Every structure is written in C-alpha cells, then in structure tokens.
Amino acid sequence: MQFVNILYVNDYFSAQLVNSPPRVSGRQRLIDATLTSLGEHGYHRSSLRTIADIAGVTAGLVKHHFQGKDALMLEAYRHFRNSLLENCLDAADKAGADPVKRLEALARSILLLNPSHAGTMRIWAGFVDLVITDPAAAAVQATNRQRHVREIRGCITGIYAARGERLSPDAAQRLALGVNSAIDGVWLECGLNPSVATPEEALAIALDMIGGRLGVSFSNGAQNGA
C-alpha cells in the first residue's frame, strides 16, 4: 500500500478502510483497522472486537489471521514503521541528488506528520510500550532506525564532500545520530506540548538546529522566513 504525504496518521489509515478496494485482504484491513483504533482509542481500549468492528469483519476472522492481540499489534507496528520509512525515503528521492534538499525532505516527512493530533500520539505511545516489551517489535524498530540513520548519514557525507571536506565514517555516523535525535526530539516536544509550535514552525526549528551544526541553510529554515 502506497503511503501518502499526510498530516494525520490515523486519518490516513481510516481513509484506507473507507476506500479499500475489494481485493484488499482481510488481513490488511485488520492491520489498517488496528492503527485506526490505536489513534482513536489508544492501546488498552483497542480490543480485538473493537478492531474487528472498525474493519467491518467478524471477530472470528481476526483469530483466523492472527493468534491474538499481541500478534496483530506486532504486524500493525511492522506495517506502520515500514510505511513511514517508505514515505521518508520516497520524499528524499523526489528531492533529487542534492544532499541538502534530501536532508530537508527527510526532516519534512517526519515533522509534518502532525504530532499535535491526539491520534498520532496515541499510536506512538501504544507502540512505545510494545517495543519495550516485545523483542520482535524492538527488532523492527532497530532495523527501520538503522535504515533511516543510514540515509541521513549519506546526506551528511554528501554535504561535506560538496565542500571538499573529508568526514570519517565514525564522525558521519555521530552526526547522523545527532540529526536524527534532533528531528525526533522536536517532533516529540511538539506532540506532548502542541501549543509550543505548529508543524511548520517545528520544521523550521529543527532545520535551524541541523543547519547550524552542519553549516548549511535550508529553504524552510527560520532564517529564510519560514
């Protein structure tokens, strides 16, 4: 399923349920319904019956596809993380070969995934608990994080190379981790405290921090009037 550039996570997955063509499998409908339920009700109130009702299927079909709630949540998390990663990488590819534009596109794809929407934070909070308690979910998180950091590292290496500066692999990795942490930190801060900044303002804040560290200017930074 193609993940689109959206502001609200659960709005997207709700739309998938409404617009799902007949060929979409019952398994996929349940995964989409799980994410919708998490956004609307949170983890603990997302029972299998609630998820089945959202998907428009019987509770028996849930048990046909998944052994239980834990198994369903794991697959929903895998789909969620993979979709977000695909969205980020697609945004970077559309930005072209310029490493500054690619890095800005990566930041935009995360920070405009509006954390001020309560449903987004409920999905995130539910999956945090899953990652902490389920080794399989932790492995999914680690794999996706590594791929995302690797893409950021490539952008940073390209930025330094364009200036004729050498950057060791270890230094590039440290910078990539710092950039990734800056993006995640701003996203979380604005999600927990929505009055702090709008998504566009959050993007400008993050890009100013990153640009100051890397010595580059982004088109959406505050210094450029964003």
pLDDT, residue 191, reads 83
Asked whether residue 31 is assigned to any structural domain, the reply reads: yes
Asked whether residue 35 is assigned to any structural domain, the reply reads: yes
Asked whether residue 103 is assigned to any structural domain, the reply reads: yes
The rounded mean pLDDT for the chain is 85
pLDDT, residue 15, reads 45
1: which 2 tokens? 């399923």
d(CA 48, CA 54): 10
Q: How many domains does the chain have?
A: 1
pLDDT, residue 199, reads 87
Is the pLDDT at 121 greater than 70? The verdict is: yes
Residue of 114, 111, 115 whose CA lies nearest to 125: 115
pLDDT 10s digits, 165-206: 999 999 999 999 999 999 999 998 888 888 888 889 999 999
The enclosing domain of 211 has a CATH number of: 1.10.357.10
Asked whether residue 4 is assigned to any structural domain, the reply reads: no
d(CA 40, CA 120): 9
**Residue partners of 159: CB distance under 8 A and separation at least 6:** 99, 100, 103, 214, 216
Domain residue limits at 15 = 9-224
pLDDT, residue 54, reads 93
Asked whether residue 2 is assigned to any structural domain, the reply reads: no
Is the pLDDT at 96 greater than 80? The verdict is: yes
Pick the more confident residue, 125 or 18.
125
- Contact indicator for 106, 92 with CB cutoff of 8 Å: yes
Measuring CA to CA, how many Å separate 98 from each of 109, 156, 188, 225? 17, 11, 28, 21
Q: How does residue 221 score in pLDDT terms, banded at 50, 70 and 90?
A: low
- Contact indicator for 35, 9 with CB cutoff of 8 Å: yes
Is the pLDDT at 98 greater than 90? The verdict is: yes
Pick the more confident residue, 59 or 108.
108
- Average pLDDT in the 126-152 region? 95
